[in-house]
Amino acid sequence: MISQEGTNMKTTSSTAILAMALVTAIAASGCTTAVKEGFGVATGAKGIYAPITSLSASSQARPLGQFRQFELGTMTDNFGGNVPTDLMARLPGAFAEELAKKKLPNEPGGKTLLIRGTILHYEDSGTVGMALGPIEEVLARVELVDKDSGQVLAKANCVGRTTTRVNLGVAKKAEGLAKAIVSWLDKRYPTEGRIE
């Protein structure tokens, strides 16, 4: 026969275990957020691209090897004038920084690839983003153009996205868009000819 005191101890023990599990789950959730935010500080904004038309590579696996300079041209606002001018002002610096990280050449007077495009969508955290979490993004249709001939070599949609609170803002979206563009270039540029 189990005493009333034994039953109360089991109930109290079960309640304590349940409370500790709940506190651990809440703490883990906070830790997960902290880890995600910390990772966000380290990695910055994200940049992804989706090719629309491919480069005609003929027999080359990495067809951009002929270019020695990458020039960021005009990015026009096709989003009803809602793209902050600050984004356009910050994009060239972010682009140059990403080129340097990938060791892509930037030789004045070399054969030049012009990168130009149109901003199709811009979203800050004040709209849908906060309902889904701290998400902001900018979407651009980007063209790679042989500057000498004016021939459009390829097109892609490039997205700069931030998904953590520490990465919100125009500067981070410019960084993400630059990462997307340069990632596209990097995948199509040979190892040879890069800056050491």
pLDDT in tens, 81-105: 889 999 999 999 999 999 999 999 9
Amino acid at 114: L
End-to-end CA distance of the chain: 81
pLDDT higher at 29 or 13: 13
User: Torsions phi, psi of 110, nearest 5?
Assistant: -80, 170
* Whether pLDDT at 70 is above 80: yes
104-117: average pLDDT: 94
Confidence class of residue 46 from pLDDT cuts 50, 70 and 90? very high
Q: Which two tokens stand for residue 149?
A: 């001939």
Confidence class of residue 42 from pLDDT cuts 50, 70 and 90? very low
* Whether pLDDT at 38 is above 80: no
What is the per-residue pLDDT across 121-155, written as a single tens digit (0 to 9) for each?
A: 998 876 554 555 568 899 999 999 999 999 999 99
Nearest residue to 177 via CA among 65, 109, 111, 84 = 84
Dihedral of CA atoms 174, 176, 177, 178 in degrees, nearest 10, equals: 80
E-strand spans in the chain? 46-53, 69-77, 112-123, 136-146, 152-162
pLDDT higher at 102 or 26: 102
